[in-house]
Structure 1
Amino acid sequence: MSAQPKKFVQYHYDPSLPAAALFVTLFALTTLAHIYQSLFHRRRRAYFLIPFLIGGLFEVIGYIGRIQSSNDPQVRSPFIMQTLTILLAPALFAASIYMVLGRLILLTSSEKYALVRRTWLTKIFVGGDVLSFIAQGVGGGMITSNKKDKDVVDTGRKIILLGLWIQIVFFGFFVLVAVLFQFRGRAHFRKIPAEVSWTKHLYVLYVTSILILIRSIFRVVEYTQGIDGYLYSHEVFLYIFDATLMFIAMLVMNVVHPADIARLLKEKEAWGGGGEMQRLDDEAREQNTAYVGRA
């Protein structure tokens, strides 16, 4: 007698209502703060952070879905909602984080120290992020499809893994670019006036990048084990290695908000005025021109 095919199981546990409600509240608070800091603050606006804001909204929607699933784990709509939004939110965070480094390079007039030219930096990394987002979205859609077919679910799992690996590779290379940029330009950076407080933003970039990398590695292990694996089957790991890490990443960006970079860029000319910052700008332009001429 042939074995009956195993049915797709949405949850291997009863989703926790208190945990989901806690993170809906936390993500809602940090997202609202980011919306104000990025779009409505009088002295600083940063529209390049819109993907980050959407990522925060995805987190809120995702954990609302888990609240609904706590009432009935077998209902499909909340399961689909929470699977896709929680899975995809970090890719949206990454898109804005990639843009931060390009603005720091512009602020410090230090493109010659970057491994990737500033004009290509955002295109390359955001391009990789889009590929990762699409792959994870397609894979997540297959896992949450109405067919409840284990073969389709397994294919979706593999596509999600591909998207996560793309994210890890691009993020790892991005961190390398940022570290080398800081190391190669250390003599130049010592000349930059203290008013241009760019270093704190670079360190926040490191922190958020590492948090997203850890989360992505967790997701790779989780989906490698499969939907019947130990990590996927125990809810606590989602809250430790995804929800908590992503909340910390958002909170750190609240404390040292990248919108300050936009303000600093606007104030850069005032600091220059023929002084030290203007001299560094002129020197950087000459060096970059010579660099391009040799290329």
Structure 2
Amino acid sequence: MSRFFRSIVLSALFAAVLAQDGATNSTSAEPEAGSNIPIAGFLPKNAPAIVALTLYAISASVLWINFFVIAPRRRFMLTLTIGMTTMAAGFALRIEYISSPFSVGAYIATDLFILLSPCFFLATDYMLLSHLAASFDEGLHKRCLLIRHSLIVKIFVWSDVSTFLLQSSGGGLTSTNETSLVNLGNNLTMIGLILQAVSFLLFTVVLLIFGLRVCKGFPDVWYPKSPHPFKIVSRKPIDDWRILFYVLCVTSVCILCRSIFRITEFAGGYTGYVAMHEGFFYAFDALPLWLGMSIFCFVWPVRALPTHSNDLGLNNDISL
């Protein structure tokens, strides 16, 4: 975890340096002579940004409350709380940019925060599957996971860090006035988004196969014996671990939806139809991510992580 956060911080600092270089290379914070086109290519609407800020801020507050109130406190859940908080900050910066649509700094800040914050959400899912699998007996996760649970975080989180670097460096380069650097920045961001989508798609496959194999080969684990009714507002453990599995499936779909949208947006170019109509952004980026991550406000993962498994039926045959 500490290595992951150090990598994220270093990546953010790298992005900030590039952004500063872009701002320095820009002619000014004012539009070019005879031009009244904002830096983003259009002027975003204030109302949806305020709604998004409110929703993300509320969810972030609830997640922070869960983090400090529900025991045991697991540090890896900071990726979720920090990610939701930085997304809220991104929309606050978007509102600031709306009031200064020709400010290079304001544009870079909101673009990087909203573009890069979801990396924390991906890391959350990676670590949750690893912890979920590790909570069972070794015989189960060895036979149900395509890769060892200890490698899930190493492989996918470091993949996340690599794509984070590509996207942050690309985002910084797009702020310059040089067409060649802008094109390079867009290409780097596009590559980062594609690799991120492919990586997360592979993770989703690992997640789904894990659930199918447990269901088929370990029915006593898949169907908990006499679980207590699930309560949303509670500190008590969730007996049915499948609730967490289903939540991870939902969040994976939401993240993949956002990834496909971002690839489509960048493929269309800086002045493409999708990029110029922010309704697509809210419908296929901001909303799916908010819905997917806000589920954790009601199903705090720590409550659903099993502490032990009984009667696993290790002699059952598994094939998938």
With the length of structure 1 as denominator, give the TM-score of the two structures: 0.84
| Cα shift at 1:256 | 1.6
Q: 1:18 aligns with which of 47, 68, 83?
A: 47
Q: 2:158 aligns with which of 127, 146, 167?
A: 127
Q: Which residue of 1 aligns with 2:12?
A: none
2:132 counterpart letter in structure 1 = L
Q: Which residue of 1 aligns with 2:270?
A: 227
SS of alignment partner, residue 146 of structure 2 = coil
| Cα shift at 1:107 | 2.4
Instruction: Answer whether contact 1:28 1:60 (CA < 8 A) is retained.
Output: yes
| Cα shift at 1:220 | 0.5
| Cα shift at 1:235 | 1.5
User: Residue 251 and residue 132 in structure 1: after superposition, are their counterparts in 2 closer, same or farther (change >3 A)?
Assistant: same
Deviates further, 63-72 or 7-16: 7-16
Q: Distance in 2 between matches of 1:9 and 1:70?
A: 9
Do structure 1's residue 154 and structure 2's residue 183 form an aligned pair?
yes
User: Residue 73 and residue 43 in structure 1: after superposition, are their counterparts in 2 closer, same or farther (change >3 A)?
Assistant: same
| Cα shift at 1:251 | 1.3
Do structure 1's residue 87 and structure 2's residue 130 form an aligned pair?
no
Q: 1:174 aligns with which of 200, 203, 216?
A: 203
Q: Distance in 2 between matches of 1:114 and 1:42?
A: 29
Q: Distance in 1 between matches of 2:213 and 2:287?
A: 34
Instruction: Answer whether contact 1:37 1:44 (CA < 8 A) is retained.
Output: no
Q: Distance in 2 between matches of 1:77 and 1:58?
A: 17
Summarize deviations over 1:168-195 as a string: whole Å, max 9, x none.
1111111111111111222444212344
Q: Distance in 2 between matches of 1:43 and 1:28?
A: 23
Matches within 5 A, 1:24-173: 24-38=53-67, 40-109=68-137, 110-111=140-141, 112-144=143-175, 147-173=176-202
**How many corresponding residue pairs?**
264
User: Residue 45 and residue 189 in structure 1: after superposition, are their counterparts in 2 closer, same or farther (change >3 A)?
Assistant: farther
Whose helix fraction is larger, Structure 1's or Structure 2's?
1
With the length of structure 2 as denominator, give the TM-score of the two structures: 0.77
2:147 counterpart letter in structure 1 = V
1:184 counterpart letter in structure 2 = R
Summarize deviations over 1:88-124 as a string: whole Å, max 9, x none.
0111110011011111112233212110111111111
Instruction: Answer whether contact 2:38 2:101 (CA < 8 A) is retained.
Output: no
SS of alignment partner, residue 185 of structure 1 = helix
Q: Which residue of 2 aligns with 1:191?
A: 220
2:136 counterpart letter in structure 1 = T
Instruction: Answer whether contact 2:166 2:191 (CA < 8 A) is retained.
Output: yes
Aligned-residue Cα RMSD (Å) equals 2.0
